[in-house]
Amino acid sequence: MTASETAPASPVFRLAYVPGVTPAKWVRIWRERLPDVPLELVQVTVAAAPALLREGGADAGLVRLPVDRTVFSAIPLYTEATVVIVPKDHAMAAVDEVSLADLADDIVLHPLDDSLGWETPPGRPAIERPATTADAVELVAAGIGLLVVPQSLARLHHRKDLTYRPIVDAPQSSVALSWPQEATTDRVEDFIGIVRGRTVNSTRGRRPEEAQEKAARKPAKPAAGGRSPKGGGTARTAQRRSGPGGGAKGSRGASGRGGGGRGKPRRG
């Protein structure tokens, strides 16, 4: 049996992410800081993300809020603008932004994987709901209707014959790092430190053993009353050597009238 066969396998950190989310920046930092711990990306739909995390298919996930806070912990990361995808020859393509009221006369597609959580979707409903956002984009290109999505999804499904415009009063989608509350592992803590922008020298940005190693390498401060930085002895010893009057005055006393040196001659 070879050494490679007996050595334990490196742990793997599995990070799920939903469409539109781009984890590249955080993955790069992870690989710089923890090169011995592989990070595996797992793409998942918005609807399937909770079950994947709950069943251990990933250690943590970049998901869209809301999440079930009785089951999952979550750290909000950012909020996206909401846009409407329209054909390039549509009237809305000529303006900079629109409102929900501007969509009232148009068919607005509402795919089954919609991530905006509408109470009442805007516009007129289509006869059937598309299965996915990708299917809905195809229908917009075919002139069937319009589609309202987070801006990152409009970029993800970019087509030359389509464009998008921001909606000023639409609900927005927030992206968060989420994981099961009962599974906050050291690797999850490492990734939390990365998404929160902690530096590599931050105690909470490193694994506990790394923080302990750095503390052990740090030189101890000298205790009070210890050796003088220059003289090599204690402060009290230095005072005894120089005498009660200080260094210069004590020297004069050694050669003066009471010091036994060359004094003034006495008359016989």
Ordered by start, the domain boundaries in the chain are 11-79+174-209, 82-171
DSSP 213-247: HHHHHSPPPPPTT---TTTSS-HHHHHHHH-TT-H
User: Is there a shared CATH topology between the 11-79+174-209 domain and the 82-171 domain?
Assistant: yes
CA distance 252 to 3: 78
Tokens representing 204 are 């909470």
Q: Give every residue of the chain whose pLDDT is below 50, as ranges.
A: 1-7, 203, 205, 208, 211, 214-215, 226, 228-242, 244-268
Residue 20's φ and ψ, nearest 5 degrees, are 95, -25
- Write down the pTM of the prediction: 0.71
Supply the angle between the helices 24-33 and 186-195 in degrees, to the nearest 10.
120
The amino acid present at 141, given as its one-letter code, is: A
CA distance 199 to 205: 6
CATH number for the domain formed by residue range(s) 11-79+174-209: 3.40.190.10
CATH number for the domain formed by residue range(s) 82-171: 3.40.190.10
